[in-house]
Each structure stands twice: as C-alpha cells, then as structure tokens.
Structure 1
Amino acid sequence: MSDTALRELAQTAKAWPFEEARKVLKRINNKTPEKGYVLFQTGYGPSGLPHIGTFGEVQRTTMVRRAFELLSDIPTKLIAFSDDMDGFRKVPTNLPNQEMLAEYLHKPLTKVPDPFGTHESFAHHNNARLCDFLDSYGFEYEFASASDYYTSGKFDDALIRVLEVYDRIMGIMLPTLGEERRQTYSPFLPICEETGNVLQVPVLHTDAKAGTIVYKREDGQEVETLVTGGRTKLQWKPDWAMRQWALGVDYEMSGKDLIDSVKASSSIVRAMGGNPPQTLTYELFLDGEGTKISKSKGNGLSMEEWLTYATPESLSLFMYQKPKTAKRLYFDVIPKNVDEYYSHLSSFEGMEDAKKLENPVWHIHNGNPPKANMPLSFNILLNLASVCNTDDKSVLWGFISRYAPEASPESHKQLDDLVGYAIRYYTDFVKPHKNYRTPNDKEREAFTALRNKLDKMDVDTPSDEVQSSVFAIGKEFEYENLREWFKANYEVLLGQEQGPRMGSFIALYGIKETVALIDQALSAEGLAG
C-alpha cells in the first residue's frame, strides 16, 4: 500500500493516537512551527524511583507522535524532561539508607547523594534508570535536565518573562491556595547560597529589568538575588508552564490528578504570551488494592517486575488500551495482556488496511509488526507449568514438541521466552496460592464420565474435538451454567479458580496424562494433599 493511500486512511482512523495527532495538527494549523518541528514532551519528577506510569507516558506520547508522522511531514521531537532541581521534600519508603537521605531534605535532587552508591546523586541515579529503560525499548527521545537548563542559562529568558508577568501569575495561583499558603507564596524558589536548600519563602520585591527578587529568609534576613543562572527555580506549576513556553511544547499528556494543575499552567502560558500545548488527560493506574500507584510508596508494579514475567510487547499493549479508563496495574493483569497481544498480532495480517491502523500492534510496532508465530497461549503454558510443577523449561518443551512438532526453542524463540516467563509467573504467583479441592458427588460422576470418554480417544485427537467432549459431559450432567462445570475442572484438576480452554490444555498435556490426572483427583487422596 502506498504512503499516500495510508496517510489518507489515517485521516479518519479511530484509534486514539490518530485522534490525538489530528488535534495537534489542528493546533498548529497544519504548518511547521517557527522552531522547525512539533515538540512532544513528557515530564518526570526524580524524587522517587521511576515507576511504570512514567514509562507509560513516554510510550503513549510516542504512539501519538508516530501517528502524527503518518499524518504529516512536519518534523517532530520528543523531550523527556526531568525536574531534577526540585527540592527533596520527603524520603521515599522504598529506598535504602533512609537516615542518610533524611539529612539532605530540601536540597535540590541533584545534590542528594545516591543511596545506591552508583551515581553522582539520587537524581542522576533515577534519571539513568529511566533512560536505560527507555533506551531498551528503542524510544527516540532527547533527555533534558532541569538542573542543566536552569544553571546553564537556557531558561534565563523565560525566567525574566516570568518576572515581567509576575503579578498576573500570582493572580492565577493565589486563588488555588489556602489562606495560610497565600501569605508566603511566590512562583520563585530561591536557592540559598549558604545552605544550598531550595527555599519556600515570601518574595518581598521583584525587579524585572534587573532580573532580581528580594526574599525574606526564615531568620528574618532580606536577601536580593538574580533569578537566572540557577539561583532560583520555580514552583512546579509555574515551572511546568515556563518550560512549555520556553521550549514551545505542542503536546503533553498528564494524569487525571493533575487536571487543576493543567488549567493553572495553561493560564500561566497564556499570561506569558504563549499558546498552551494540546493535552490529553489519562486515568490513573491503581495497585492491587485499588490505590493510586506512587513512586514514593513503591506500590503497584515496576517496569522491571513486569518484564520479569512477561514480554515488552504485553506492557506496551497495557499502555495502549483505553488511556482514559482507570486500570489496575498489578501482577494478575499480566497473563491477559500477553495473550491479547498475540491475538491482535495474529489477526493483523488478514485485516483490511483501514482496520490495521486501529489494531494495537500497529501502534506498538510503529506500523510494522512482526509475523505472528505463537502456537500456544500464555495461559495454556501457565497451566502446563502448574500441572508439571517444574521450573525446567525442557520438561514443558517435551509436551510442546508433541503438540506442535514444528516448534522448537531454536525455531520459536518467542515461544521459548514465553515458557520461561510462564515458569517464573507460576512459581511466584500461582504455586503459592494453589488450592485443590475434592469433587462433590455430582462432579465425581461427571469426571468419571469424562475420564472414560478420554480413555477411548486417540492420543492425536484434535483439541476442538476434545473441547466438544468436555462440553458434552457438562450438558449430560445438566449443568445449567456450563461455567460451573469448567470451573470445577480448574479447581479440582488444576487447583485454581480460573484456567484455560480445556480442550487445548488436554491436547497439549496429553489425553492419557489427563486421564491419569483425573484418576489422581478421584483417588482417595485426591490432589488436596
């Protein structure tokens, strides 16, 4: 398909990255901005270890950027900006050397020692971890540091502009604050020359022509300082706005918890004489308890944890799906996302071109997804690992090779990786909670009938035929809701509440082996012990 035809289809594609990209085009009136490119920005506050939400922001923004690049030939750039000059307000509970860190409260994050002892500062450590992860995904981005931009003078013009419209910014910010906070609030946070602390103190006087402010320290002393050259930084909402104005940001997304902050920063950009960027408000990620994930608490999943148990593509799919819907980000969402990714991938090639643009794998792989080559689902592999109760990949491959003779660890590298993921996931999350139960009288009769039916089958019986037989047994024993029959299969034979398509599992595990499994469940000891 020609690039022209593909671009034509992208004009009406319903996938959310295309909808966002068209908004950006409208914002710039389909013309190249003066700076020569469209700027996408993501922000990161390195006061805690980078969490998966930070990655998600870069992933999603990249998807919008790639959609924009299909719609237009206007150059683009993505900046990942770290607010690493922010004051260190509290010690995250998930860090080592808590007492040492507590001694550096209120210092800029780039002046706080690295508790892990691997980098120049805590901020440098966190920035490096973020960049390493983004690099491993192959993201195209430019990393930017607030400490660098403030101290090198890159923000000097913007800081002077903030001074020039100081009263207007105060008029925007003060109504958003409590009465007590209003008394001492200023957009500028001086960096104390004596202590190096980031100060939250009242500003008594501003002089835009001189580029200075006069502030009152806690000891009552009045101090005059230039606002440029890293001698001050801005409170984060004015800082966010100043950065958007200075860089000419065209697109930036943020979480639902920052809706009011977006309104305030957009008003400040306008007060400075700029045009606020196009924005997207995404819903928050929740941990296993339904609480918002936090980098200071370390709740929810980390990027490293997800990639211990599943493929990078499954994480990308999780980020793509419904950004405006709140989602639990916990270990139990991993298997579903792995299998949904391969389902989308397998359907891609046979789709009409217009539908391909709405398939998540188009956005995950920048329009060029690989060929599907996954004969087994992750869910099936998890249950195979469960029944085999092994951490040896070769044991699982013994069953896989019989089910799919064309597959091998060498020819199907992704499947081999998936086997490893399945074993790790089973060992850490399934095995500790397995709870086999003995069948009741009705179930015992049904399992006996299933056992006898399977025992008469050829070992090469197709999975669909096996599935039909399992289904037929449920009907024969008058299960009004067949889900109850399949749930009994999972709980009695596999020791868990949910499970795979039984026909596929039995074909993989083996018909004779399944007969033995049922015999064990029906024996006096059962599987409960």
Structure 2
Amino acid sequence: MHWSDIIAEKLINERKEKKYIVASGITPSGHIHVGNARETLTADAIYKGLIHKGVEAELIFIADTYDPLRKLYPFLPEEFKEYIGMPISEIPCPEGCCKSYADHFLNPYLESLNDLGIELTTYKADENYKKGLYDEKIKIALENKEKIRDILNKFRSNPLLEDWFPINVVCENCGKLKTKVLNYDKEKEKVIYRCEFCGHEGEVKPYKGRAKLPWRVDWPARWSIFNVSIEPMGKDHAAAGGSYDTGVLIAREVYNYTPPKKVVYEWIQLKVGDKAVPMSSSKGVVFAVKDWTHIAHPEILRFLLLRSKPTKHIDFDLKKIPDLVDEYDRLEDQFFKIKEKENLSDDEKEKIRMYELSTPKIPEKKPFVIPYRFCSIIGQLTYDECKKDVDMNKVFEILQRNNYVVEDIDEFSIKKLRDRLIMARNWALKYGEKLIIIDEEEAKKIYENLKDKQKEWIKYFAEKLKSVNFDALTLHELIYQTAKELGLNPREAFQASYMILLGKKYGPKLGAFLATLGKDFVIRRYSSL
C-alpha cells in the first residue's frame, strides 16, 4: 500500500467522522517553493487516500495572509522597511501587479496547484478574521488567558508574564500588529492596548479583524473552526514542545476539540553545488513552484514528492531532472503494461497506485515518449526563435533518423512531446548544458592537435558515412566498426568526434547525436578537416 492509503486507513479507524477534513496552509511572505509544496501534496495524497477508501472528505488550504511582515527580506526593496509589522494582506504588492503583498506570492502558487491537479477549498486568514470567523475563539482565548499562559509556560525557558494576553491588536494608528494589551474589559468585550511601534494607545473590540490570535493559539482555534481531522506539518512544528504540542493542549482544554492527527514531513533541500541547503523563502534559497512547469510536467513534481514517505528528506537537484523524468517514464510504461492484469503482485499494485497518485489526468493509452535528455538536444536544435516554438516537422525528421516510428502519433502525444521539448530546452539552457556546435575553423584547429590515429579515423569514417543509412543505430555500429578496422580504441574515436563537434571530450550519445545533426552537416564536418 502507498503511504497515503495507510495513513487514510489509520485515520478512519481512529476517528469516526461523517466528513474528514484534511488541512494544509502556508504564510505567503515570499516565493512559495517546492519545499512548501510538499505539505500541500502530502495533504492531497491523504485526501485522495480517504476518497479511495470510500469516505467523504475535503481538502482545505488556509493561507496565513494576516501574519505580519517580520523583516525586510532580500528580495524586497529598501522602502518596504516601513511595512515591517503590518499584516501582509494590508501591504501593497511589491511589483504593483496584485491586490496585496500576500496575493502577489499566493496567487501564482494557487495557480500552480491547479496545474498539479489539486482540488481544494482556499481560505485566507485576513478574510476569516474580518468576517468574524474567529470572534468567538478570540473571546474564549481572552477569558482563558491564564490557562493558555500556563500551557505555553510548560514549554518555555522564559515564562510569559502574568500581564500577557493571547492576542495581538492591529494598531488603529499605524496598522501594525506589534501591540501590548494592557487590559481586557469582559463586560464591554474591549481591550486596551499600546502599540510598540508608534506608541499609540487605544481601546477596541478585538473582533472583525481588529485583532489576531498569536500562532500557537490561532492554530488550535483554526482546528475547531474548520473541524480539521488531519494535517501535515513541518518537523519544526512537530518537535517536542513545538506548536503542535501546545496546540493539542489548547485545543482540548480551551476549545474542547479533539486535535487533528499529525503527519510530519521532512524538509526538501536544494542542491547548490556540492551542498544540500534547506529551502527558505526568507534566505532566497528557493525553487518556486510556479517555475516548475517551465522545466517539466506537473506529474513529475507529484512523483518526486509522493514516491517517498513524508518523513524522508529529499535532495532536490535541478541537474538531475532528466533522471527523475526517466524514472517517471518507466513507471508510466509499467502502469500501462500491468493495469489490465489479474492477480497483481503487491509490487505491481503499488506501482499502479503510485502512478495514479502522481498523474492528475491519466491518458487512455500510453503516450508516445521521447527521453527528456534527448528532448533537451532536439529542443535546442529545432527551436525557432521567431515563433518561440519548436519546429515539429524538423523534430519528426530527427526522430525518424533516430529509428522512432512517428507515423501514428496521436494528438495528445504530439502536444505532450512539444511541451517536453520546450521544457527540456529551458532546463538545458539554465541548469543543464547549452548545446553549442563549434564552427568549422575552430574544429580545424582542434583537429590538428588530435592524435594521428584519430585524424586517420575521422577521414576514414567520413568516407564510410557517404554510403550508409543515416540512422542512429547504423551510425553507432559504424563508429565501432571503423575504429576496430583501424586499430583505434573506440573511446578515442568518440572523443575525437566530440572534440570536432562540441570542442570537448564528451557529449550526447554519439550515434543519436549525429543522426540528429543530419547527414549533410555531419559529412561536411568530418570531410572538411
């Protein structure tokens, strides 16, 4: 069984509910990255696991848009210093393209979730507070401030003082959330506060968005508002004494609610050179989810994040995207080979389930697939800068020379292939290797420095090229055959070829590469030296 189905089964056995609410959330204070997506995709997999078990369920996403801007992040202009402490829903968009700072980072992520095949109900914290959704929970928190303080102090090295209140008022003067509550009048339901930014003192009813609960109180309040059954969370929240532990006690003892089941997930680390660094919006170590579909289809990201248990850390290496896509392609191939079989083995069942969870829209039949790394080469060679698209006629010519049967490719496969060609090209230009064919003059200079045996082979190979079928398999065999006939180590024949084509000793699979470049060009290059 896939881990998401196991979690769903345990949840159903532990909590008997008419409807299971799976929650996920994030603070859109910066670019929402692949590491953040792990939480949402984990929640989505559990939701799909519950549906798979035949129970009613809903996936909700709560954006913490009423959190304050905590500091001037590296990606912000200097003038945004004045907004530190203000709820991010009330701050202008950094680029002037969205309604607010929060929407600027949230909207692209929500659009990405749609691409990823995630259907959820979205709630924004600022709207929830302003609608009065939290009013009753705020009142309960204020009336139970001693109990909440005692719970939090159990896990603090520096205890909260007796004059602490579980609420942050939005200052009426400067709009910031850093305020000190001085008193609470239970009869009038009003709080007296002093702003720690501007010094303003005022008296307000802390409802309809005039105040916000601090995180460790907000979270359990939210569980009871939305009847949350289960929620994935980062290991920081789940650590001993973390916000989940305090939330459990506040949920039970203050809000009279059974806390949700926790699912802890590990960080995703971004490979930067030889180091793996935890992704962080505030530190600028990110790969934004919105950028994923520039380099690969959404199902590849789902596969990356769902193939491992949430507790297993993932090193996200952009240079290894081709290997990841190859793994997904193999899974897809296995799915279509075994899906109609009877008496499936456990391993086969797991493969089918993994493909189902990875692929939002499962095609009726196995699509025509070209390996991603090969697509990165074809995409670069056939891209039309004027049309900003690949030339599919040239693509099909190259594929035929590489022994692919292209006559009966369906429209779905053609579209998917075109997308992959462009995505793989984007990847190669930014994270892989840009394909640069050196000019003839440079090739001649390199040729002069080759070993005599390599020069002899190049001339011999050029003559043989004129009389053979120009396809990848034939060319591959011809390289070995001609090298053997001249007593040259095939490795040196390959190196010589790469040197006169790319100016370096390595490159793509040579037979396929030569077929891709075309007969006229290849014969001219090998013969002109």
Relative to the length of structure 2, the TM-score reads 0.78
**Equivalent residues in 2 for 1:240-389, closer than 5 Å:** 240-259=219-238, 260-272=242-254, 273-289=256-272, 290-322=276-308, 323-351=310-338, 353=344, 355-359=348-352, 360-365=354-359, 368-385=362-379
Distance in 2 of aligned mates of 1:486 and 1:429: 25
> What is aligned with 1:459?
469
Q: CA deviation at 1:378?
A: 0.8
Using the TM superposition, name which of 462-471 and 205-214 deviates more: 462-471
Q: CA RMSD in A?
A: 4.2
Matched, 1:42 2:24: yes
Distance in 1 of aligned mates of 2:89 and 2:453: 64
Selected match of 2:61 from 68, 80, 85: 80
Deviations 1:132-170 (A, max 9, x none): 332344422111111121121112222233234322322
Selected match of 1:107 from 83, 86, 110: 86
Q: CA deviation at 1:204?
A: 4.7
Structure 2 gaps, min length 5: none
Contact 1:345 1:369 in 2 (8 A): no
Contact 1:44 1:81 in 2 (8 A): yes
Contact 1:205 1:215 in 2 (8 A): yes
Using the TM superposition, name which of 306-315 and 118-127 deviates more: 118-127
SS at match of 2:83: coil
SS at match of 2:149: helix
SS at match of 2:93: coil
Distance in 2 of aligned mates of 1:262 and 1:517: 66
Provide the identity percentage: 23
Using the TM superposition, name which of 42-51 and 463-472 deviates more: 463-472
> What is aligned with 1:412?
414
**Equivalent residues in 2 for 1:112-151, closer than 5 Å:** 112-151=91-130
Q: CA deviation at 1:18?
A: 1.2
Distance in 2 of aligned mates of 1:499 and 1:414: 26
Which residue type is aligned with residue 258 of structure 1? Answer: H
Aligned residues: 495
Selected match of 1:232 from 211, 219, 232: 211
Which residue type is aligned with residue 49 of structure 2? Answer: A
Q: CA deviation at 1:519?
A: 7.5
Relative to the length of structure 1, the TM-score reads 0.78
Distance in 2 of aligned mates of 1:182 and 1:448: 83
**Equivalent residues in 2 for 1:383-402, closer than 5 Å:** 383-385=377-379, 393-394=390-391, 395-402=394-401
Deviations 1:394-426 (A, max 9, x none): 344431243324256956221122222233333
Contact 2:23 2:231 in 1 (8 A): yes
Which residue type is aligned with residue 417 of structure 2? Answer: L
Distance in 1 of aligned mates of 2:165 and 2:493: 66
Which residue type is aligned with residue 8 of structure 2? Answer: A
Which residue type is aligned with residue 71 of structure 2? Answer: K
**Equivalent residues in 2 for 1:459-478, closer than 5 Å:** 459=469, 463=473, 466=476
Distance in 2 of aligned mates of 1:446 and 1:65: 65
Deviations 1:323-366 (A, max 9, x none): 33333335323322322222211110222555244443210235
Which residue type is aligned with residue 318 of structure 1? Answer: L
SS at match of 2:223: helix
Distance in 1 of aligned mates of 2:195 and 2:329: 60
Residues 1:133 and 1:385: Cα distance change in structure 2 (over 3 Å): closer
Structure 1 gaps, min length 5: 1-12, 524-529
Which residue type is aligned with residue 43 of structure 1? Answer: G
Q: CA deviation at 1:92?
A: 2.9
Contact 2:171 2:200 in 1 (8 A): no
Q: CA deviation at 1:25?
A: 1.3
SS at match of 2:337: coil
Which residue type is aligned with residue 420 of structure 1? Answer: I
Deviations 1:348-388 (A, max 9, x none): 02225552444432102358455322342011122445678
Residues 1:515 and 1:283: Cα distance change in structure 2 (over 3 Å): farther
Which residue type is aligned with residue 284 of structure 1? Answer: W
Contact 1:254 1:282 in 2 (8 A): yes
SS at match of 1:287: strand
Distance in 2 of aligned mates of 1:257 and 1:497: 47
Q: CA deviation at 1:66?
A: 0.9
> What is aligned with 2:73?
92
Residues 1:217 and 1:452: Cα distance change in structure 2 (over 3 Å): closer
Which residue type is aligned with residue 23 of structure 2? Answer: Q
> What is aligned with 1:17?
4
Residues 1:380 and 1:48: Cα distance change in structure 2 (over 3 Å): same
Matched, 1:65 2:65: no
Which residue type is aligned with residue 406 of structure 1? Answer: V
Selected match of 2:131 from 143, 152, 163: 152
Which residue type is aligned with residue 71 of structure 1? Answer: K
SS at match of 1:295: coil
Residues 1:409 and 1:148: Cα distance change in structure 2 (over 3 Å): same
Distance in 1 of aligned mates of 2:286 and 2:466: 48
